[in-house]
């Protein structure tokens, strides 16, 4: 069977409310041998479809928004309308950002997790935040990953020009720590309620599973030659608060 040729970027017409990605590296594919701290980024689009006339929206990602819409149209009873698209250098992370922002609006009308009940104004605000995240974070990550591989010198930059950014970092760490504590508290409460059951219907599950983990210390002791063959030194810069 012959493979269908990939459509070029020029073959896709502009989508609704589309904002172009920031000029710069379109993709970031590390060469073989780079440390695992380097991310692989895949460009594409994050899209938002309205389901029928309701304030019900589907969020997803694709390299071809129109083709994805045609695919979804065959499996949905209600018509789909494209209301937002975001062109991204890392569509997977941009999609995750938007879905995380919309978590509290996730619809319970469907077992699928990509449907959200939200009004147009609030949705537009979250899409704007996702576009800002694309511009100030995702589009800059390739350069940060490149710098992570660089050898450092002995310089320390003066603190004054960066105090505002450092304050935001401190506040974000504090908020994350508090959220982590609240998350643990809520999880423990639900797990104690579940006991030996499989979960709480329509809310959460807590099922027994199997996880495989490589014991690198045991492998090194039992098969040192194999360990040395597949062990690779990684050089990454560590970001720490002083």
What would the pLDDT profile of 176-234 be if each residue is shown by its tens digit?
Answer: 999 999 999 999 999 999 999 999 998 999 999 998 999 999 999 999 999 999 988 87
- Position 6 scores a pLDDT of 43
Residue 50 has pLDDT above 80, yes or no: yes
- Position 108 scores a pLDDT of 81
- Position 44 scores a pLDDT of 94
Instruction: Find the mean pLDDT for residues 50-79.
Output: 84
CA nearest neighbour of 47 among 1, 100, 86, 101: 86
- DSSP string for 61-130: EES-HHHHHHHHHTT-SS-EEEEEEEEESSHHHHHHHHHHHTGGGB-SSSSSSSEEE--HHHHHHHHHHH
């Amino acid at each position: 069977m012959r493979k269908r040729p990939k459509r070029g970027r020029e073959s896709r017409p502009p989508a609704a409310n589309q904002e172009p990605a920031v000029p710069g590296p379109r993709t970031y594919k590390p060469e073989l041998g780079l440390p695992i701290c380097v991310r692989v980024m895949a460009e594409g689009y994050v899209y938002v479809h309205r389901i029928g006339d309701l304030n019900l929206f589907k969020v997803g990602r694709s390299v071809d928004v129109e083709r994805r819409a045609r695919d979804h149209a065959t499996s949905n009873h209600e018509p789909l309308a494209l209301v937002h698209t975001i062109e991204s250098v890392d569509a997977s992370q941009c999609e995750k950002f938007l879905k995380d922002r919309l978590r509290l609006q996730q619809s319970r009308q469907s077992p699928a997790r990509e449907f959200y009940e939200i009004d147009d104004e609030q949705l537009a605000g979250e899409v704007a935040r996702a576009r800002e995240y694309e511009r100030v974070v995702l589009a800059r990550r390739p350069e940060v990953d490149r710098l992570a591989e660089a050898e450092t010198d002995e310089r320390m930059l003066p603190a004054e020009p960066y105090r505002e950014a450092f304050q935001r970092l401190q506040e974000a760490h504090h908020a994350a720590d508090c959220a982590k504590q609240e998350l643990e508290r809520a999880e423990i409460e639900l797990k104690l309620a579940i006991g030996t059951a499989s979960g709480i219907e329509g809310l959460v599950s807590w099922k027994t599973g199997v996880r495989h983990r490589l014991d690198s210390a045991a492998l090194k002791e039992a098969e040192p030659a194999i360990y040395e063959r597949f062990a690779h030194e990684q050089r990454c810069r560590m970001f720490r608060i002083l």
